[in-house]
Copies of this chain bind each other. A is one copy, B any other.
Amino acid sequence: MNRSLEILQELKKKGYKVTRQREAIISVLGEVEHQLLTAQEIFEKILGMGSATNFSTVYRNLEMLLQEEIIRKVELNRDAAYYELNYSGDHHHHLICKKCGSIQTTSFCPLERLGDEDGFIPVEHKFEIYGYCKECVKTDSTIDRELISKSD
């Protein structure tokens, strides 16, 4: 059940060295499970654990973990990218609340319904939905259910 150990072994098998920094990064990602974290947040959590590392190291390792498809990168906005462990068989997309910033996931994936697009072969895709979560709709009367169009 310990995903972190599995990952470290997988990396070792592939010829990567198991360093304290790598252990820390993977451990942080494993602890938060599905929560999205920025490189900054990962960095801070490692320092908080009493471990030491450096921004370059975090970025370099995230890049490596991406290439090994151990993590997923989610680019929500122009600001920092988010990262999460890539659990197999757990493909999902995100619903981001424009008011409170909360992020929920949905297993709905549009790619399955995409028809033939002139011979284009899809490999990756991005589908993120921005709107208002149930809580914010309930508490904020300025969010008018009726006026909100699904356009754009």
Contact = CB atoms under 8 A, between A and B. Distances in A.
A127 interface: yes
Contacts of A67: none
Q: How many copies does the complex hold?
A: 2
B128 A125 contact: yes
Interface in A109-152: 110-115, 117-134, 137, 143, 145, 148-152
Interface residues of A, number: 46
A33 interface: no
Given A132-B121, A150-B122, A77 B75 contact: yes
A86 B111 CA distance: 24
A114 B107 CA distance: 10
A78 interface: yes
Nearest to A127: B127
A134 B121 CA distance: 8
Nearest to A119: B134
5 contacts: A106-B114, A118-B134, A122-B131, A123-B131, A124-B152
Given A106-B114, A120-B132, A120-B134, 18 more contacts: A72-B152, A75-B75, A75-B77, A91-B152, A104-B117, A104-B118, A108-B113, A110-B127, A111-B129, A114-B129, A119-B133, A120-B131, A121-B132, A123-B131, A124-B129, A125-B128, A125-B152, A127-B127
